[in-house]
């Protein structure tokens, strides 16, 4: 794994830590300032622009809409130049979401430019009773 892939995974972990701890200051600091941003929350209309995206997270984290727990599972990072993305599963009470998190390098930091999460069906048990 490259250093940039590790850095992208660390930025992704910071996103899920801010989400899990309902830390609005950390969430706001993760989003890009120089790059256009967008977000597709499950069941919401597409949001474009930093102000709308950050406000959506404020509503979720501080308005009582955040799940009691959220964690990232099976993250896979990809990097091309100053752009990287993570594909992962979000594990929430009562379900799973497939998520894509796009990051861009702004100065020395990787900042989030896009987040999209969509429901996925429950995993079917494999031969040993474990999810496939």
* pLDDT, averaged in runs of 10, over the chain (132 residues): 94 96 96 98 95 96 84 97 97 93 96 96 67 58
Residue pair 87/10 in contact by the 8 Å Cβ criterion: no
Which alpha helices (H) appear in the chain, and where do they start and end?
Answer: 3-20, 24-30, 50-62
Residue with structure tokens 């501080």?
A: 62
pLDDT at 78: 97
pLDDT at 94: 84
Residue 119, Cβ neighbours under 10 Å: how many?
12
Strand order in the sheet with 47-48: 47-48, 38-40, 109-120, 95-106, 83-92, 71-80
In a domain, 124, yes or no: no
In a domain, 81, yes or no: yes
The domain of 24 spans: 3-118
- Cα 12 to the chain's mean position, in Å? 6
Q: What is the CATH number of the domain that holds 11?
A: 3.10.450.50
In a domain, 123, yes or no: no
How many domains does the chain contain in total? 1
Angle at the Cα of 59 from the Cα atoms of 44 and 34, rounded to 5 degrees: 80
In a domain, 129, yes or no: no
In a domain, 35, yes or no: yes
In a domain, 75, yes or no: yes
pLDDT at 126: 63
Paired tokens of 95: 């379900």
Residue pair 113/35 in contact by the 8 Å Cβ criterion: yes
In a domain, 127, yes or no: no
In a domain, 103, yes or no: yes
């Amino acid at each position: 794994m490259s250093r940039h892939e590790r850095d992208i995974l660390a930025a992704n972990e910071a996103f899920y830590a801010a989400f899990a701890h309902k830390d609005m200051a950390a969430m706001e600091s993760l989003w890009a300032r120089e790059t256009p941003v967008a977000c597709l929350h499950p069941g919401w209309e597409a949001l474009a622009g930093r102000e709308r995206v950050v406000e959506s997270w404020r509503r979720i984290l501080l308005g009582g809409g955040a799940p009691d727990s959220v964690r990232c599972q099976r993250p896979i990072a990809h990097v091309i130049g100053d752009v990287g993305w993570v594909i992962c599963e979000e594990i929430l009470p009562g379900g799973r979401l497939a998520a894509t998190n796009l990051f861009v390098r702004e100065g020395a930091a990787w900042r989030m430019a896009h987040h999209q999460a969509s429901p996925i069906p429950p995993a079917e048990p494999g031969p040993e009773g474990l999810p496939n």
